[in-house]
Structure 1
Amino acid sequence: MTNLSELPLRDDLVGQLPYGAPQAVVPVALNVNENTHGIPEDVAHDIVARVAAAVLSVNRYPDREFTELRESFARYLGHGLDASNIWAANGSNEVLQHILQAFGGPGRSLLGFTPTYSMYPLLAAGTGTEWIGVPRAADYTITPDAAAAAMREHQPDIVFLCSPNNPTGTPLGLDVIEAVYAASQYENGAAIVVVDEAYAEFSPEGTPSALTLLPGRPRLLVSRTMSKAFAFAGARVGYLAADAAVTDALRLVRLPYHLSAFTQAAANAALAHSEEMLGMVGEIREQRDRLLRELRALGYAPYDSASNFVLFGGVEDPHAVFEALLARGILIREVSLPGQLRVTAGTETETTAFLEALAAVGPNGRGPSAE
């Protein structure tokens, strides 16, 4: 049987590994930052009804411009946006890929502040774009001065700012975004600045979005997803807001009819119930804050989080703890950061199960009193 090493891969893909998170059927899955709350039943019925109606015309291609969906997203986001400012694709990863296909590529570079979302360098590799990882401070924060200095030093063609950051949960101030944008105009060109707000809805109430910075900044893009707060991970719907010229640019690289009629119908139904769909966000914030409190009480060192997950240090043997929790039916995430693990804020029951199991296995996976 032919193996990967025998295939004529592009040189820049040789040795690369695909994105992957452990998948296992367990009672408590808290590893990929899903919304563990189910969709409300009445919303589910509306989604099913709209998808069923779409079946009647599935012999025809869907609306290539997904006009109704772009209008729905514009209404949801507000901030004076209209359909011309909206783009959407099959998950925010595809949105980011479109950006790299349009503005990246061979001879161009993408900058991010590490550790950050592990898909960024993979998307860069897939589009032949050079990846530049600039380390964050020890507490995973970024200051405006440090961000601007990185921009001046590397002069990337694109920069991805994860807000709040994955896998650390770190909030990102608007002052950092403003500093990056101000430093993104070079003597011989300018950068595309992308703020990835996949977890924005979980930030404390009143936290301003990068959407407020869009006016007057034609190279600023704000990416979002329905996977997290909308409990829509399986539907694969991501979107962004930007200057209308940006959405025109993304049309150059998208595949024809890239959003199916079923995807459009389901997303429109969910957005029509956005208030109800987001009704569980408050409870998720409560469980996140509970994780922060109780992990500290157990002797761990959780990092401040504005997302639906918590990264925590003080783990003597992360892999052993991961395996010990998995043996108890609880799946969390190894993140390749020394002494640290990440856990999603689940329901109250799931969070309790995790905390009790962690207390039982201890920081080395062999129990709290093991030497």
Structure 2
Amino acid sequence: MSAAAGRKIRIVVVDDSALIRSLLTTIINEAPDMEVVATASDPIVARERIRETSPDMITLDVEMPRMDGLEFLRRLMRLRPTPVLMISSLTQSGSETTLSALELGAVDFLPKPTLDVSNTMQSYADDIRDKIRMVAAARLRRPSLFAPSAAAAPARVAPALLRQNAIIAVGASTGGTDAIKEFLEKLPAGSPPVLIVQHMPEGFTLSFARRLDKLCAIQVKEAEDGEPLLRGVAYVAPGHSHMRLGKGTQGFVICLDQSPPVNRHRPSVDVLFASVAALAAAQTVAVIMTGMGKDGALGMLQLRQAGAITFAQDEASCVVYGMPREAVAQGGVMHVHPLSQLADKVMDCLRLPHDRAGP
């Protein structure tokens, strides 16, 4: 469900904090293209407000009284699928619950500040409104529950690769937690190292990597500064730092830094892709997946121009067709495929000679 052209996005705000409800209502109603049609302090009240107003999207607190927020989301997605933006605290327990919410079908999440709440919320009011527009227009997907995908291939060992020191580089944002899971599940043990930037705040990337590690044939971990790239390992950029490819005395290493955000993001896909283009383009296969905005588009073009093989997720399988669309528009993408085919297509490039000018 999304707002019709020319009509305001209608939103129900669900949060047990009266302050958060008030702040969100003010921030939302300041925009000419959206409005809060109802608020609720818990899921029981929210159920009635949603029934009465039929909103285009919902903002939902993670920790709610009277009914567990995840249980409410589970019921909502089963009975009345509606785009949901989760409001979550930046804590370990908050990150675990938020990842569970994304698995249940929530489109994205918004960090809830714990200090100086009013000023902090106002400081990123534009980001809040941008996320609301994106969530309202997002394509809903079936909940994954972070169980292994039905289509996942059995774990197997990668054959000897024709190209030495191959690297897989991946960038994603909104909808990427599920997309990356499906992609990594299909990679066999012994695959080339995978460098991943998923837009996610500090504290969430570690939980995300640990969850993936339990599901995949390859090892998945949060990247550490200075560690060498190893086959059979996927490295998730930590939420506090850019991740770049660097050269050590024995081969490629990971370099982390906290330089300013790029495209409003740290970690940034463009930063990763540009570093790989500079050092290892000829041996790299890069993939850009679902997400809002343009991060990664310039880096993808740099990769292609430097000799990498580049893929994008197709529009039909994206939750938000933003980043792949921009990468295609800028000319950086060689091949476009559904999410379900991307892992196999990437492995094909590493197993066999590839015509890089092909479709």
Normalising by structure 2, we get a TM-score of 0.30
Structure scoring higher RCO (CA < 8 A, sep ≥ 6) equals 1
Normalising by structure 1, we get a TM-score of 0.29
Is the strand fraction higher in 1 or 2?
2
